[in-house]
């Protein structure tokens, strides 16, 4: 229960520009699954277990930017335009992968899993801070990692959906400076 409380306090701060403090109320993000989320040094840290941090808000056209740090043995991603809270996966969402060592290298960091593979450029992100930038406008999803274009997908009927941050496998993932406009 302590971890869930800490996650809720942190999430409202990270996603809406507030200073992280223990007295902030959680309103818009909830953990799903068994991942343990914690806060340290203004960073949201996913460790141990598999799961997501899920927005309650639904987004249609938006810009998302977030800094991330990933260890070698962790599978992570940013899921956008998701439609099924009971099944967060590349079928019900657009998964922007964070996993340099994906067994299928066409689905590595920067790809839109199952839709834009391989990514346009290979980026290496393990063990250092990186930035994901995603723009969803005019039926197009544009993805950059560290200012490098890695994917662009044009689809006629993009539908509004929620956003989820993933922590899967061993190791840990860290997020900071997340903004959705």
Tens of pLDDT along 127-167? 999 999 999 999 999 999 999 999 999 999 899 999 999 99
**11-15, 18-22, 72-76, 116-120 — most confident range:** 116-120
Residue 50 sits in a domain of what CATH number?
2.60.120.560
d(CA 119, CA 105) in angstroms, rounded, equals 9
Number of domains in the chain: 1
Cis link prior to 118 (omega < 30° from 0)?
yes
Residue 10 phi/psi, 5-degree rounding, is -70, -45
- How many residues belong to the chain? 181
Single pTM value for the model: 0.86
Find the domain containing 172 and state its range. Answer: 2-180
Tens of pLDDT along 34-83? 998 887 888 888 988 999 999 989 999 999 999 999 999 899 999 999 99
d(CA 3, CA 18) in angstroms, rounded, equals 20
């Amino acid at each position: 229960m302590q971890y869930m409380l800490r996650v809720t306090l942190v999430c409202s701060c990270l996603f809406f520009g507030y200073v992280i403090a223990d007295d902030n109320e959680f309103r818009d993000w909830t953990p799903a699954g068994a991942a343990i989320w914690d806060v340290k040094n203004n960073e949201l840290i996913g460790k141990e277990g598999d799961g997501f941090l899920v927005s309650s808000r639904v987004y249609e056209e938006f810009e998302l930017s977030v800094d991330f740090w990933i260890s070698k043995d962790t599978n992570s991603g940013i899921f956008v335009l998701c439609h099924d809270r009971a099944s967060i996966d590349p079928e019900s969402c657009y998964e922007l992968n964070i996993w340099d060592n994906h067994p299928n290298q066409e689905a590595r960091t920067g790809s839109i899993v199952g839709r834009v593979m391989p990514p346009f450029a290979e980026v290496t992100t393990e063990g250092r801070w990186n930035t994901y930038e995603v723009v969803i406008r005019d039926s197009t999803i544009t993805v950059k990692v560290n200012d490098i274009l890695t994917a662009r997908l044009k689809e006629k009927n993009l539908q509004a959906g929620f956003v989820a941050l993933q922590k899967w496998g061993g190791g840990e993932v860290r997020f900071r400076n997340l903004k959705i406009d």
